Amino acid sequence: MPKRYEPPFAISAAILARVATISELPGRWNAQSGPMPLPRLRRVSRIRIVQAPLAIENNSLSLEQVTAVLGGKTVLAPPREVQEVRNAFVAYERLPD
């Protein structure tokens, strides 16, 4: 009967902890470099982020009207409310700065 293989080292808790740490790294890299959100989803989110606070402030423009204003289209609405949408969008764009 062949002799059973004995590795030239002993497996300890410290070695297992290091192997586990090393094994986690590819998973972290994959999570950090995962797929970016679709640009369309970001734009829809941004439009909702602009419209919701304006609705709380009594701006009567609907989500579709806000989308049209941000798309540069003409909307039948009070000019003050249209300007509020434009200003809010510019303000949200400048937040990261």
Residue 66 CB contacts under 8 Å (≥ 6 apart), including other chains: 47, 50, 51, 54, 85
In a domain? residue 89 = yes
Q: Is the dihedral of CA 58, 46, 63, 78 positive or negative?
A: positive
Cα separation, 82 vs 59, whole angstroms: 9
In a domain? residue 32 = no
The per-residue pLDDT for range 4-13, each reduced to its tens digit, is 888 888 889 9
Q: Which domain holds residue 57?
A: 39-94
In a domain? residue 50 = yes
Mean pLDDT of 28-51: 77
In a domain? residue 43 = yes
The per-residue pLDDT for range 68-79, each reduced to its tens digit, is 998 999 999 999
User: Structural domain tally of the chain?
Assistant: 1
Q: Which of 69, 73, 20 is nearest to 47 (CA)?
A: 69
In a domain? residue 80 = yes
pTM of the model: 0.56
In a domain? residue 20 = no
